[in-house]
Homo-oligomer: A and B are copies of this chain.
Amino acid sequence: MDLATIIGLVLGVGCVVYGMMIGGDMGLFYDQSSIFITVGGTIAATVMSFPLKTLLSMPSALKNAFIRKPIDMNKDIDMIIDIANVARKEGLLALEDAANSVKDPFLKKGIMLMVDGSDPELVKSVLETELSYIEARHAVSIDFMMTMSSFGPAFGMIGTLIGLIQMLSNLEDPSTLGSGMSVALITTFYGSCLANMICTPLGKKLRIVSGEEILQRELLMEGLLSIQDGENPRIIRDKLTSFISRKEAMKGGKADVARPSAAEARE
């Protein structure tokens, strides 16, 4: 669970709804045709901008912004060290069992390549290619959210123009002017909320989640390559610990920088 996403969404909706309820009836803000124009139009224009497959991949991408487990790099490091110990004692071939118990497909593929006795250069190149594909996939999801975010207010304005044109062309009963304009503004309201309460924050969160996932995979890759290189598990742990500081820096928070060990000096 990404707490900030949930807290931010609940807090944002809460603040806006509270402000709405003080002023009067919530029913004012529901208008079916406005939903069609704003939400429907925004989704339609975004779908038109991307391949159909991008749309279908969005639910699993958004899951990342909401209910992903926090990445625990310490656990990843422990796992790499376990694998390193097995590899040291029983050889790389013994890792086949480890691969079977691993769920992460990236890590699994890396281990299987080592079990197959692939060349270290090949392992590195395959994992780097895999990483670049993961990054490209993330970039498309972020682009999708940001595109939606810019279509939202645009279709909000289109809806408001429709409402104003209809209202103004039919001013026989001036007493309806107010309520007509009120309805016309609802689409702009929907468009602004869609962009600023949902799409932009989710797009920005996806960018940060993507950065962390890429960093985690880099840690795993670094670990696997060190194992294949036959490095000492203690030294591998030293190396990988520095990734934790990097992750903290990406969040603006502090972490003790790992005490540099002799291992790094040797590099």
Contact, CB under 8 Å: A49 / B133 = no
Tell me, yes or no, whether A233 is within 8 Å of chain B by CB: no
Contact, CB under 8 Å: A170 / B44 = no
Closest to A205 in B: B49
Contact, CB under 8 Å: B260 / A44 = no
Tell me, yes or no, whether A85 is within 8 Å of chain B by CB: no
Report how far A254 CA is from B56 CA in the complex, Å. Answer: 11
**A contact residues, total (Cβ < 8 Å):** 116
Q: Which of B19, B137, B253 contacts A54 (CB 8 A)?
A: B253
Report how far A129 CA is from B23 CA in the complex, Å. Answer: 53
Tell me, yes or no, whether A118 is within 8 Å of chain B by CB: yes
A187 to chain B, nearest CB (A): 8
Copies in the complex: 5
A59 to chain B, nearest CB (A): 11
Contact with B along A160-201 (1 / 0, CB 8 A): 011111111111000101110111011011001101110011
* Residues A127-156 near B (CB distance < 8 A): 129-130, 132-134, 136-137, 140-141, 144, 147, 151, 154-155
Give 14 pairs: A residue, B residue, CB < 8 Å, sorted on A.
A7-B48, A8-B44, A8-B48, A9-B48, A11-B40, A16-B37, A16-B41, A19-B34, A49-B204, A54-B252, A119-B265, A157-B192, A161-B185, A168-B179
Chain A residues within 8 Å of B, Cβ to Cβ: 2-5, 7-9, 11-12, 14-16, 18-20, 22-24, 28-29, 32-34, 36-37, 40-41, 43-58, 61, 109, 113, 118-119, 121-122, 125-126, 129-130, 132-134, 136-137, 140-141, 144, 147, 151, 154-155, 157-159, 161-171, 175, 177-179, 181-183, 185-186, 188-189, 192-193, 195-197, 200-202, 204-205, 208, 242, 245-246, 248-254, 257, 260, 264-265
